Structure 1
Amino acid sequence: MPYHRANHLNHQDVRINELTIHSFEMGVYLAEADYDGRKAFLVDEDNKPQQFHSIDEVKLALDRCTIYKAYLVHQSAYDEMCGGAEKVDNTLKVPLFLPGVG
C-alpha cells in the first residue's frame, strides 16, 4: 500500500497536487496527499495512518511544501432515518484555503 510521511513531504521543493483532510468523529483527522502521481495517506513512524487533532496540525506538518488544492472531507454517520430513503452518499467536501495554496 502506498504511503507518504509528512517529514518527507515538508520541503520547499515538494509540490502536492491535492491534499485531502478526512474528518472523523472525536476530533481525528487523517491527511491524504496526491504527490508525484501517488495518492496516499500520511503515516507515522510505525506505518500507521498519522492522526492529527486539528486542521492546524496538518497545516503545521506541511507548512514548507506547496499545496495546489486542499479539501476537508466529512461523511456523516447519521444518514439513516426510520422510514427514510435508502442510504445515499452524504459526503461533504469543502475547499480549504491554506496559505501558499496555489
Structure 2
Amino acid sequence: MTLKDLVALAVEGRVVGLELLSLEGGIYLLRAQLDGQTRTLLDESGRTLRVRSATHLRELLREVPRLPCMLVQQVVHDEMCGQREEPITPLRLPIFLDEPW
C-alpha cells in the first residue's frame, strides 16, 4: 500500500487507525489498520516507506482525514533483560496528527 492508496482508503472511511512503529536506529515505519489486517506503507518504488519523525508523519498525512494514530515502541528494559514471565507487549502512545505537540 502506498501513501496515495492510504489517502484514498482513508477518504472512503476504510482505514480504522494508524501505527507509527519505532525501530532501533531512529527508523519509523507507518502501518495502516483496515479490514481486519495491518499493512505497512511502501514508497513509490515498492520499498518500505521510512518516516523520519512525527513531524514528517504529519506532513505526509495532511490530506488524510483525522484518524487515531499510535506510536508503537518496544520497552528497552524488556528487550535488554527479557526476564519477564508474562507476555511482553510494546508501549503504545497516542499521537495527535492535527496538533504540533
TM over 0.5: yes
Instruction: Report the CA distance between 1:56 and its aligned residue.
Output: 1.4
2:27 is matched with which residue? 28
Gaps in structure 1 of 5+ consecutive residues = none
Asked if 1:5 is matched to 2:2, the reply is yes
1:94 is matched with which residue? 93
Length, aligned pairs only: 95
TM-score, normalised to structure 2, is 0.74
Letter in 1 for 2:96: F
Letter in 1 for 2:51: F
1:55 is matched with which residue? 54
> Between the two proteins, what is the percent identity of the paired residues?
23
Q: Can you list the C-alpha shifts for 1:59-85, whole angstroms capped at 9, x where unaligned?
A: 211111113311000013442439x54
Instruction: Report the CA distance between 1:6 and its aligned residue.
Output: 0.8
Quote the Cα distance in structure 2 between the aligned partners of 1:81 and 1:39.
29
Higher relative contact order (CA 8 A, sep 6+): 1
The structure that is strand-richer by fraction is 1
Letter in 1 for 2:5: H
Asked if 1:66 is matched to 2:65, the reply is yes
Instruction: Report the CA distance between 1:99 and its aligned residue.
Output: 1.4
The structure that is helix-richer by fraction is 2
